[in-house]
Structure 1
Amino acid sequence: MTVDVTIYHNPDCGTSRNTLAMIRNAGIEPTVIEYLDTPPTRDQLARMIADAGLRVRDAIREKGTPYAELGLDNPGLTEDQLLDAMLAHPILINRPFVVTPLGTRLARPSEVVLEILPDTHRGAFAKEDGEQVLDEKGQRIV
């Protein structure tokens, strides 16, 4: 299926790998951007965050990043200052962001991506940890 889907991916992240696998399970081969090597531009990042309905602070990753050392927990920091930090240190960008014609989401947990994919899933899908997300008919298990 030809659907324009882009995932800002970190192959070392299980959530990102699960999200990519769910996109492929829908019969879609997305554009994969390894954002640590090729970070989005300031405008792209700001647009993705806004389109996902988030504030910049909601899109910052704390775990395994220089978040604390940079003092990013300071509530007085502006969204522009937070964006600057994310661009200077792409590891601070939470992942994975997925952009499709149906919307943009920060796919945490990974099954959030299902909200913005066409209903074209090919059978059952389980995450790496074995959690079933889709049944044998490609329907979401709730």
Structure 2
Amino acid sequence: MKRGHIMRIFHNPRCSKSRQTLQLIMEARQEVEVIEYLENPPTFQELRSVVTALGIAASGLVRTSEAVFRELGVDLATLSDDAVIELIVANPILLQRPIVVDSDKAIIGRPPENVLRLWS
């Protein structure tokens, strides 16, 4: 990791995978900004950057197992990336977690050990 650069984690403290990922970051003595995304939801632009850094379709950011997702009755296959991002902005509980961003790279911490790839 570059000096002076701080990675960010979109974190839910109630999620065991998110807590485990944050613990791995702390054990590696990496500087990290913790963003509790349910309290401070990411913006459209932040999520657009995350999608780019992950190199995935925006639908990969959606927790389809959430009750809110089922209640909305959305078919992700019919939505553009921008529409999916707007869905997450409006319903931050749908954001996959944890997501760790380091400059232009990112990972989803499932499993938590995925975070190790950011600095190996």
Indicate whether the TM-score tops 0.5.
yes
Aligned alpha-carbon RMSD (Å): 1.8
Q: Spell out, residue by residue over 1:7-64, the C-alpha distance to the aligned partner (whole angstroms, 9 max, x if none).
A: 0100010110000000001012411000001011101101101211111111101223
How does the TM-score come out when normalised to structure 1? 0.76
Q: More deviation in 46-55 or 2-11?
A: 2-11
Counting helix residues as a fraction of each chain, which structure ranks higher?
2
Between the aligned partners of 1:107 and 1:30, the Cα distance in structure 2 is: 14
Contact 2:54 2:106 in 1 (8 A): yes
Segments of 5+ residues of structure 2 without an aligned counterpart are none
The amino acid that maps onto 1:22 is L
Structure 1 residue 22 and structure 2 residue 20: aligned? no
Segments of 5+ residues of structure 1 without an aligned counterpart are 120-142
Residue 66 of structure 1: aligned partner: 68
Between the aligned partners of 1:100 and 1:29, the Cα distance in structure 2 is: 10
Count of residue pairs brought into register by the alignment: 118
**Percent of pairs identical after alignment?**
36
Q: More deviation in 75-84 or 53-62?
A: 75-84
The amino acid that maps onto 1:58 is G
Return the match for 2:45 from 36, 43, 46.
43
SS state at 1:7 partner? strand
Between the aligned partners of 1:87 and 1:101, the Cα distance in structure 2 is: 22
> Displacement, 1:100?
1.4
